[in-house]
Amino acid sequence: MGAIFGTILAFLFVFGVLVFIHEFGHFFMAKLVGVRVEVFSFGFGKRLFGRRKGPTDYRISLIPVGGYVKFLGEEAFEAGRILEPDNYMAKKRWERFLIIVMGALMNVLLAILIFAVVNMAGVSVPEYLNEKPVIGWIDADSPASKTDLKIDDEIVSINHKKVETWSDVELAIGTKPEKLLALEIKRGGTIFPVGLLTEKDKKYKFDLGYAGFYGKILTQVQMVKPNSPAEKGGLKAGDEIRAINGEPVYFYKFIEVIEKSAEKELEFDVVREGRPVLLRIRPQREGQVGKIGVLQVMKSVEMKYGFIGALNQSLKDCSNMAFMLLDLIRKLFTGQASASKNLGGPLEIASMSYSFFQMGFMKLLWFMGFLSLQLGVLNLLPIPFLPLDGTQIFILGLEGIMRRDLGPKLKQVWTQIMFAVFMFLFVFLILNDIVRRLPHGWKSLVPF
């Protein structure tokens, strides 16, 4: 019961803030250019309750998956009719454009502000992400294992674009599932090309690229179980594992060594509070593998920025996320990505909101910034038949080219098409969220 309540609370907080900021952008710009706002609604459909102040009805509506601002005169009107000065259609096209675009811009600005605040407060990131992309581990039977790549190779570029950190590499690989990539590799002072055919990463429900190589990721002990071999051997939370039996061991190698060494005594080279410590631990057998009773994580570092640095990092983060979103949209339209795997609806957003809520307020704030950026970018795209601001941007652009407004009948038909698309998307996203939680996805709905 607590989880359900928490999910609803987290969803209402996240989505409520995003919708309010978006609609406030429209509202603020409409007031600024002198347009009368008749309705400011959170949600669509039937009015549940609200308050009228001046000419505006501030309301909560039945379907809580968005919101809208209704302006005087934005619906179809008779050509040649004299319009009031505060009528939406009485304003110049550039003024109407500013009203429409301001909602999305407010979401983008909110995302930049949120990421800046998070960066100033401090973010914990795996240490290796900001290091040179030098390979420290290759999964067996992975795309990387089928190439000439070796441990200690440095990745110089991917598809002729220079990469300087593992963060750059993961972005390039993750956005290109099942693609043949051209890598440049540096080995012993020599640079040579390597072709790599990525796969889809099966660990995630979204389509992400998988190569199977990783950096020299140090292992850090997060928790030690009572009476475990690790505790008996003197291992403590916070210890960094550097080597086992005198050989350097990184995150994935650490797991493999432990699992293959049941009942064998191992010598651990550990760094504890900056000092080297030597420990002897004998993994115990659990089933077919060895265990020492620890929760290990990738070594992380706390990154804090001043105001300018936080803002610069925020702009970089937003830019990378925006390009990833645009690339996904391109793949959805060209059939290179699955809509059922990559699109999430209200239930998915609610579930993720609660997950981030459980991790703490700053994590939830980060997730809100992530969603706000996506909402802003999507609404800026001039796609003609989606029920987003981009459709109005497209129409205004078309009218600007023709130097006249479209006729009321055409606009009415266009509105009806958008409503039909909205209902289709709404039903699809709800169903997709439901079947995603079934054991066999959409196949679970097939009775045979």
List all residues 6 or more positions away from 289 whose beta carbon is below 8 Å from its beta carbon: 258, 259, 260, 262
Residue 205: per-residue pLDDT? 60
Position 431 in a domain: yes
Q: Catalytic one among 23, 127, 170, 184?
A: 23
pLDDT at 393: 87
**What domain count does the chain have?**
3
Per-run averaged pLDDT (10 residues), the chain, 448 residues: 73 86 92 91 86 90 81 69 82 90 95 94 84 91 92 94 92 88 92 92 75 90 88 91 91 89 93 92 89 88 86 89 84 76 78 80 89 92 81 84 77 78 80 73 61
Do residue 136 and residue 112 come from a single domain?
A: no
128: DSSP letter = G
Output the pLDDT for position 444.
62
Q: Same domain for 111 and 174? A: no
- The candidate with the shortest Cα–Cα distance to 114, out of 302, 354, 372, is 372
Do 244 and 290 belong to one domain?
yes
Provide the pLDDT for residue 420.
Answer: 83
Other beta carbons less than 10 A from residue 286's beta carbon: 11
pLDDT of residue 2: 57
- Report yes or no on 447 lying in a domain: no
Which residues, listed in sequence order, are joined to residue 270 by a DSSP beta bridge? 241, 277
Among 196, 214, 232, which residue terminates a domain? 214
Read off the CATH number of the domain in which 196 is found. Answer: 2.30.42.10
User: Does residue 348 belong to any structural domain of this protein?
Assistant: no
Q: Is residue 176 in some structural domain?
A: yes
Nearest to 343 by CA among 414, 431, 259, 245: 431
pLDDT at 78: 58
pLDDT for 77 equals: 58
Q: Is residue 339 part of a domain?
A: no
Give the domain range for residue 258: 219-300
Q: Name the helix (H) or strand (E) containing 156.
A: strand 154-158
pLDDT at 265: 93
What pLDDT does residue 185 have?
94
DSSP assignment string, 295-343? EEEE-EEEE---HHHHHHHHHHHHHHHHHHHHHHHHHHHHTSS-HHHH-
Active site residue 23: yes
Q: Are residues 115 and 163 in the same domain?
A: no
- Pairwise CA distance, residues 239 & 162, whole Å: 34
